[in-house]
Structures are given as C-alpha cells and as structure tokens.
Amino acid sequence: MRKKLKYLIILCAAVIVAIVFICDNVIRNSSKKFVFSDIDKIQYNKVGLLLGTSKYLKSGQIN
C-alpha cells in the first residue's frame, strides 16, 4: 500500500511539473511578439505601458 502511494505521489508531482512547464512555454510563445528588448524595434505609439516603475521618484516628483 505504501509503495503504491509513493508512486502515486511521484506521478502527481511529475504531472504538476509538466503542466507548469507547458503553461510557461505557451505563455512565453504567445507573448513573444509583445515583449521588446531593443528600443529601436518598438513601433511609435502615443502612449505606452512600462511595468515595474514607481509612480513617484525618490525626490517626490511624479515619474
């Protein structure tokens, strides 16, 4: 009984790890065209969204 439970836990862990990797690859591939590493490749837009920035600078001014 313990041997079957051990194999079941290992199988469930392997399935969970596989699902996480598959989800990561699907998200990475579908968002590839929206992520830019080179400024020159970004198309001109009137507005943009920059993630990971603060609303205010250290001096207290709006960023």
Angle at 15 between CA 11 and CA 35, to 5 degrees: 160
Fill in the DSSP letter of residue 51: T
- Predicted confidence (pLDDT) at residue 45 exceeds the cutoff of 80: yes
Q: Tell me if 9 sits within 8 A of 1, measured CB to CB.
A: no
pLDDT tens-place string over residues 14-31? 999 999 999 999 999 999
Range(s) of the domain holding residue 12: 2-33
Residue at 49 is within a domain: no
Residue at 6 is within a domain: yes
Residue at 58 is within a domain: no
pLDDT in the model for residue 42: 84
Mean per-residue pLDDT of the chain: 90
Residue at 22 is within a domain: yes
Residue at 42 is within a domain: no
pLDDT in the model for residue 5: 93
- Structural domain tally of the chain? 1
Residue at 60 is within a domain: no
pTM (predicted TM-score): 0.59
Residue at 13 is within a domain: yes
